[in-house]
Structure 1
């Protein structure tokens, strides 16, 4: 295709808001934008001009496998930017590994699929792509705020294709606070989180997080061409994406390099980490599944393996071990210190943030633990998996604060209902508090006196057996729902209040107030003090005995 020429400056008004039109003349009704000497032709997605599948780094193929992302070369020629790029290599583990428990997810999955219709995408190592959705007709000079979504998936699966940002863009136009939505893919599982001494020596630990950093640099360089303001970039993540946003805040001694100006974190926090050496066995397990066993340079050998061979070697790891194998690690480089140390010492990007949980965070994980049916089983779980090495005295304290009474367990507020096993609701309460609520409170306690912070608790979508489960608040945020406007205003103004409705106060040490979203979608302001004794104990022990 011939190169496209820039059009004259035109003005378009929508919903009483004036925006400039696209940077180039649309091609056959499709929007286009020039980056360097390259022309990217997107498509119209409802209220948005969508530019999809743009490579933000050199494809990490061949000898670039298991290397830090190389910045893209200047673009030349014409690119079709109408389709999402491939997802990164996946480990498509189900939400629960217990077939007998899978039926308890049916209501949640139906609700989820209604907001996020199932999609399909080929997986490829050539997956480092970024997507930009701007209000229709936006061009350079509009200087719109930007929200960057980091996807869910436990660092094992997922991709940007699952999360169409058009409803967020559409709602931002309706309330006259237009934003640009960006999403991206980053390397996952063995490709993105290879541990061990060999990975450390090569500088390739936490590659998935390093990919994200490179994508943020791409945004700084190019987002103005789409009408974005590179000084107003909000990170938005859920689950693994939320953990990612937190680690971007902690990276580089808290120096954001101007890459982002705020963060919205839902249901994922920087837990105490294993050191890269503690997972040396993971690296060796992968190598030993291949012909690279015994190689004098096993990492270089892994780079040269056929894609399918490496994928199958990774998938040969027992399913019940995959969550623990491919994880963020303490590497004395991208992550130099344990998160709690960095937080206590104030080495975190001083940007405004919103942080949140759902009421029943632990229920999905507890579905994988239905074989735990006695007090003794719970004690064993705590000392082996939950808080490895925990002394019996502390086990007894936890069991006393989290009794086996179903009415005290999660999903909370449901009495004796939904006790799938004698210990299910108890396990859900412990896991939800240990891995979610305790971490959220610690993050707030260490930072809210240094920078603007807001917290919310979602009790919405209270479903049988799962309650208000992990990531269910995304259904509201993407709906669009009652939280969508709050997200948009935070992105645009660094404050989730819009001057109407319930005022959402900042979270402070003196007054720990948070926004609660009730099951009927109403907002209330309540103290963040529930289960304080148990949560404080779990947090203290988690620091001493990281998983």
Structure 2
């Protein structure tokens, strides 16, 4: 303690004594800079929750790196969730069983009860029990679902995955993070772009990855073996992180897993100018010489209520990842085709019935003519009458050929529901999964699966996120994930061999409930239809 002032000496004695006292209670400790973080035991894992990975963010400013840590910190509780629109479900009663399934495994996944605050940029770490700086376990970083307008890390218990990794003798470290969403994290418009604050949620993710690179060794993680994993909007984020910086990962991650989300054709910052203007009007910032600066200074409660006044359709379509020619430097499909993407191994996955949840939003489309109008005006806006006829021929009104697939005439919620579900699932999910594979698999190892879990959910079938509970637990998908994080391949020598997907041999893992086996299929289902809608979507983005 030589050279310390009396005040600092007193502080040092108090904090050191507190750390020693906590240590005597057998709580896990992590030491970052001059700070001590006190975690807790979680079964055969230790966890450290709510650690700030950046300075408290100023509204519509990029996140700044954290200052060196000092003192003793309680890391036993999650930090604040980032403010978002909490209820984004379709409201269909058919969704209730799926919500119940997800809620049982991930409390608060749809309507988080975790308090929200703009000071929300925190990370949570689960490690094998007793892991520390002397270890070097591979790391997986999870990015949550939520359509970029809601979500938070507190719903996801990484202990399930870490415990399983220890059980099978392949320990890994799990990290989840919070990042800004909705109007706070994805504000479009010329003003936002000129200030460099577009796609703030993804910029937050990048800052968190830099933090992990710097500090994960203190938790027993290997900073040179980091896999980023996301579902839905989180998966689209993973793809965009692969495309950012012209595909240069900066050494921040070495593998990727994408569930039900891929880099899609996007609106530009200018095309969504109306979303910016709507928020300006709702906050009474109209007429200010610097409307962005006005938005920065609107009191939080007023700002949040103004965000809720924006019509639902504008929330979901207006606050999204956008092409800003900065973080996202061009249209993702074009960037992929040009090879401007990280050359790392990856897994890309879909559920069998991705389109059902969106189709619930379209109960008033009941005739062939109304389906044609939807396709021509919304799904593939601007296609010709001849092209529309081609699409409808390949996606017929016969319910036995629609989604939920393989259920015959059952699940026809409305007269055109299964047809719309099949079409939407292929345009927004399966088609872009295949495009990703076709564009990149010659240059890096890619693996793909389709999940048929929960086919018995009426109307929904194997909808988006229905595979997620099978990754946060004990089973083949969890083991495949763990092995991929450790080895860059999902195969561990015990489960069904999962081949690499190639254009000459497009093989996909198909997995369902325990009564049905894991099997390898040719990824050629609905090939003619999917090839058509992807080619049209490239020319006519939604």
Common fold: TM-score over 0.5: yes
Aligned to 1:41: 38
Aligned to 1:115: 105
Please give the root-mean-square deviation of Cα atoms over the aligned residues, in Å: 1.6
Aligned to 1:425: 418
Aligned to 2:225: 232
Aligned to 1:489: 483
Aligned to 1:3: 15
SS at match of 2:194: helix
Q: 1:6, CA displacement in angstroms? A: 13
Q: 1:95, CA displacement in angstroms? A: 1.8
Unaligned runs of 5+ in 2: 1-10
Runs of 4+ deviating beyond 6 Å: none
Aligned to 2:257: 264
Task: Name which of 287, 290, 293 aligns with 1:300.
Answer: 293
Q: 1:312, CA displacement in angstroms? A: 1.2
CA distance in 2, matches of 1:243, 1:223: 24
Q: Is the 8 A contact 2:128 2:173 kept in 1?
A: yes
Aligned to 2:131: 138
Q: 1:521, CA displacement in angstroms? A: 4.9
- Are 2:522 and 1:527 equivalent residues in the alignment? yes
1:406-441, Cα deviation, whole Å (9 max, x unpaired): 111000011110111101000100000000000000
Unaligned runs of 5+ in 1: 8-22
Aligned to 2:378: 385
The 5-angstrom pairing of residues 118-197 of structure 1 reads 118=108, 120-197=113-190
Q: 1:197, CA displacement in angstroms? A: 0.4
Deviates most, 188-197 or 383-392: 383-392
Deviates most, 39-48 or 405-414: 39-48
| CA distance 1:257–1:75, change in 2 (3 Å) | same
Q: Is the 8 A contact 1:84 1:161 kept in 2?
A: yes
Aligned to 1:20: none
1:55-113, Cα deviation, whole Å (9 max, x unpaired): 111111xxx2101111111111111111001110110233204xxxx221122122222
SS at match of 1:438: helix
| CA distance 1:192–1:448, change in 2 (3 Å) | same
CA distance in 1, matches of 2:448, 2:24: 45
- Are 2:466 and 1:472 equivalent residues in the alignment? yes
- Are 2:273 and 1:280 equivalent residues in the alignment? yes
TM-score (norm 1): 0.94
Q: Is the 8 A contact 2:476 2:495 kept in 1?
A: no
SS at match of 1:514: strand
Aligned to 2:531: 536
TM-score (norm 2): 0.95
CA distance in 2, matches of 1:150, 1:95: 19
Aligned to 1:66: 60
Task: Name which of 496, 502, 510 aligns with 2:504.
Answer: 510
1:109-159, Cα deviation, whole Å (9 max, x unpaired): 222223223362011101000001101111102000000000010011110
Q: Is the 8 A contact 2:275 2:314 kept in 1?
A: no
Aligned to 1:203: 196
